[in-house]
Amino acid sequence: MSIFSEVPQAPPVAVFKLTADFREDSHPQKVNLGVGAYRTDECQPWVLPVVKKVERLIVEDSSLNHEYLPILGLPEFRSASSKVALGDDSPAIKENRVGAVQALGGTGALRIGGEFLRRWYNGTNNTATPIYVSAPTWENHNAVFADAGFKDIRPYHYWDGAKKGLDISGLLDDLEKAPEASVFVLHACAHNPTGTDPTQDEWKQIAEVMKRRNLFVFFDSAYQGFASGSLDKDAWAIRYFVSEGFELFVAQSFSKNFGLYNERVGNLTVVAKDNENLTRILSQMEKIVRTTWSNPPSQGARIVSKTLNCPELFAEWKGNVKTMADRVLLMRDQLKAKLQALGTPGTWDHITQQIGMFSFTGLNPKQVEYMIKEKHVYLMASGRIKCVV
């Protein structure tokens, strides 16, 4: 008998199972509105032109080899990535109190940040420290923080199904009632799955409560540039919190805005009070990285680094990002217009009010099932659709 005969079968990850089912479907009009990856108007993945260009430069560069990167990653990648989030003229960067850990996509950045907080945030054992994620949130948030060792993961009010928008009063109320020193995971822009972001005024309210109650800010930034088409606009919330003096983490992903999904390019930006604290923090993060992946993969980081650090390539990249964001906006406009033209019951303004890759349609689970089984249109059980198909 096998040593492993008692190991139960784990359910598949829903979003990838959806794509697997879609692939097996032979219906000629099938559509996949599930997994969050950009598609062109021909429904193809898009390798960004700037990425293709930089990949060639890398292959031709005989000075490059495959020696291990430092544990914390490629230095020029880390600094350029943090700059993208915080802004070129960020005072925090000038004050030398911003550092970063190159990570395996946004997932890896969240995991390393989570592990660090569990070990070091408020005393040396934060397994009982509450960590709050939005209701709803990315399906993997809970599990990442659970595996990082947090035992008390709580939802905070976010989506108001009745008004199809942000439940700001519920959110603020949760902030007021959360135990001091609780950790809050905030989506920097283009909230997944609702596509609904706080306004600047709402962000200010959130920041005021968090500062007053000593709550820790952990930004998840997977869509910078993708939401509005502007990198700076999409980073407004992060920069506001930094300007308000918060120490905070930002888990950045370059999967979407660089289309580099499979090279696992992420960055955990750390903003500390001063350089001395930053140094100690990064030294502990090194220990965590060392037992997880030792040092990060090079390819994706080189592509992003080269692009961000060269003005012409950077400009070209911003253009590519705008291309993607604009196509999303166009699809939003057209979907709403067509639903209205069809006289579909309900209001559909939320489709154009929401922002980023996803839209929370408002379809209920039975309707979702009908869409998949009868119409061969694949979307998440939550009613979340991807706006570029």
Interface residue list for a copy of itself (CB under 8 A): 1-13, 59, 65-71, 104-105, 107-108, 111, 120-124, 140, 143-144, 146-148, 216, 247, 262-264, 272-274, 277, 279-281, 283-284, 286-287, 290-300
88 is annotated as an active-site residue: no
Single out the residue of 119, 137, 85 nearest to residue 270, CA to CA: 85
Nearer to a copy of itself, 59 or 162 (CB): 59
Quickly tell me which residue has 């983490």 as its tokens.
249
φ, ψ for residue 375, nearest 5 deg: -105, -10
What whole-number distance in Å separates Cα of residue 354 and Cα of residue 36?
Answer: 15
Q: Is 175 exposed, middle or buried (0-12, 13-18, 19+ CB in 10 A)?
A: buried
Nearer to a copy of itself, 32 or 354 (CB): 32
φ, ψ for residue 257, nearest 5 deg: -75, -10
What whole-number distance in Å separates Cα of residue 189 and Cα of residue 354?
Answer: 11
Most distant CA pair in the chain: distance in Å?
64
From the list 167, 174, 197, 220, the catalytic residue is: 220
Single out the residue of 322, 317, 202, 329 nearest to residue 260, CA to CA: 317
Nearer to a copy of itself, 217 or 363 (CB): 217
256 is annotated as an active-site residue: yes
The CB-side HSE value for 4 (13 A sphere, CA atoms) comes to: 3
In the complex, least distance from residue 161 CB atom to a copy of itself, rounded to whole angstroms: 27
Q: Is 204 exposed, middle or buried (0-12, 13-18, 19+ CB in 10 A)?
A: middle
338 is annotated as an active-site residue: no
In the complex, least distance from residue 284 CB atom to a copy of itself, rounded to whole angstroms: 5
In the complex, least distance from residue 276 CB atom to a copy of itself, rounded to whole angstroms: 8
Nearer to a copy of itself, 119 or 350 (CB): 119
Nearer to a copy of itself, 236 or 293 (CB): 293
From the list 256, 306, 336, 386, the catalytic residue is: 256
What whole-number distance in Å separates Cα of residue 174 and Cα of residue 195?
Answer: 21
In the complex, least distance from residue 341 CB atom to a copy of itself, rounded to whole angstroms: 39
What whole-number distance in Å separates Cα of residue 166 and Cα of residue 145?
Answer: 24
Specify the amino acid at residue 130.
P
In the complex, least distance from residue 283 CB atom to a copy of itself, rounded to whole angstroms: 4
**315-347: b or e for each residue (b if 16 or more CB lie within 10 Å)?**
ebbbebbbebbebbbebbeebbeebeeeeeeee
In the complex, least distance from residue 269 CB atom to a copy of itself, rounded to whole angstroms: 15
Nearer to a copy of itself, 147 or 349 (CB): 147
Give the tokens for residue 34: 């599930």
Long-range CB contacts for residues 14-21, cutoff 8 Å, separation at least 24 = 14/139, 14/380, 14/381, 15/139, 15/380, 18/378, 18/379, 18/380, 19/378, 21/372, 21/378
In the complex, least distance from residue 351 CB atom to a copy of itself, rounded to whole angstroms: 28
Nearer to a copy of itself, 159 or 219 (CB): 219
Active-site positions?
138, 220, 256
